[in-house]
Chain A
Amino acid sequence: AQSVTQPDIHITVSEGASLELRCNYSYGATPYLFWYVQSPGQGLQLLLKYFSGDTLVQGIKGFEAEFKRSQSSFNLRKPSVHWSDAAEYFCAVGEEGNKLVFGAGTILRVKS
């Protein structure tokens, strides 16, 4: 079965600093990969997705992610974090039948 690991439960960054959230997956074939964000008390919003092609994917809100097959990673990055980015971030891999397997999530705190 597929699995997704987000090694960092919590991350704190200063406003304006760069951000990288880590995600590792296990999957036999080329995976469908996703990053979702959940603001406090809110539902899930899709930030970006990777299916094939260019390994650097641009998303909404200034986020990007890079697919590295050799490292089985799909890390999320943002060059300059804003206070409104404080949320929980989930990495997910798409399985057969359009099921998503999620990581445990990383809670991002932004300090001013």
Chain B
Amino acid sequence: EAQVTQNPRYLITVTGKKLTVTCSQNMNHEYMSWYRQDPGLGLRQIYYSMNVEVTDKGDVPEGYKVSRKEKRNFPLILESPSPNQTSLYFCASSAFAASGNTIYFGEGSWLTVV
């Protein structure tokens, strides 16, 4: 079954404590990205990756890092989380970085920073 898997699904952490949200897809997709969802703002892209070792900033990259060492994995790293990073995070993937390719979303990760 085609899947984008995120972990953890729910996390409460404290300000400044580094954390990583993992994302893995089993479809051999080249393109992966991270979004955050906030009330009244919809979803906004944080980072994206066109392929292994190719990453770039989205619209709201501040406070986040990513890496793409393997094709299937695209972790989101919060080096020093702050309360304004409390949000619902979605990982997404598609076969290629071309408009119109079907985008598959993970189930979301609820992150609370206190």
The answer, yes or no, to whether A102 is at the interface (CB within 8 Å) is: yes
Interface residue A66 (Cβ < 8 Å from any Cβ of B): no
Contacts of B41 in A (CB 8 A): 104
Q: Which residue of A has the minimal Cβ distance to B41?
A: A104
Number of A-B contacts (CB under 8 A): 60
Q: Is the CB of A90 within 8 A of B99?
A: no
Complex Cα distance, B100 from A92, in Å, reads 12
A98 x B97 contact (CB < 8 A): yes
Q: Is the CB of B90 within 8 A of A44?
A: yes
Residue B43 CB within 8 A of the other chain: yes
Most buried by A among B94, B99, B106: B99
Bound-state CA distance A54–B92 (Å) is 28
Provide the bound-state CA to CA distance between A95 and B102, in Å.
13
B101 and chain A: residue at smallest CB distance = A98
**Out of A9, A32, A97, A102, which one reaches B48, CB within 8 Å?**
A97
Given contacts A32-B100, A98-B103, A100-B43, 19 further A-B contacts (CB under 8 A): A4-B42, A42-B108, A43-B105, A44-B90, A46-B103, A94-B100, A97-B31, A97-B50, A98-B94, A98-B96, A98-B99, A100-B35, A100-B92, A100-B103, A102-B42, A104-B40, A104-B41, A104-B42, A105-B40
**6 residue pairs, one from A and one from B, having the closest CB atoms:** A102-B42, A43-B107, A102-B43, A94-B99, A44-B105, A104-B42
